[in-house]
Amino acid sequence: MRCKHYMVRSAAAKSTVLDTATVSEALAKMVKHHMQQQLVVRADDTYVGEITSFTLAKMLMPGDKPQTAEEERIETVADVDDRIAPHLGRRVADFVDPDTPVVFPETPLSEALRMFATGKLRLPVLDPETKKLVGVISPLTVLRRYQF
């Protein structure tokens, strides 16, 4: 069995964001579609990498060292907002992780399943020659045939 038998082409659109989009736009799309990640593509659909909610959550952190009890006590919602605000207008390309696993239509399904078993939630399916995004595969797209 190959990934092409389970990949979803229609899911690619709501799973992607252009590399020229702002962090704010990517975040809005993640929230709207309840997704932990957005696959980042160029205007010609060439895959660039991904941006995740974990990347965005790091922008909320108060710094490299843990806060003191006093700092935690006096921190406000506005303080947290102020940490991410400078990044919201920046391009997604500035934060993309280019080293994310990918699969191809002819990749054995067992390889994708191994990646899912390690915690990957969604994998981009790329055309092997052009590196353009042609679909998406996830554990749920594989498991959906077992709906009772």
pLDDT tens per residue, range 47-95: 999 999 999 999 999 988 889 999 999 999 999 999 999 999 999 999 9
How far, in Å, CA of 108 to CA of 100, rounded?
18
How far, in Å, CA of 42 to CA of 115, rounded?
25
Domains plus CATH for the chain? 3-146 (3.10.580.10)
pLDDT band at 146 (very low <50, low <70, confident <90, very high): confident
Strand positions, DSSP E, 6-145: 16-18, 37-41, 47-52, 123-126, 133-137
Strand positions, DSSP E, the chain: 16-18, 37-41, 47-52, 123-126, 133-137
Q: What is the pTM of this model?
A: 0.86
pLDDT tens per residue, range 93-131: 999 998 899 999 999 999 999 999 998 888 999 999 999
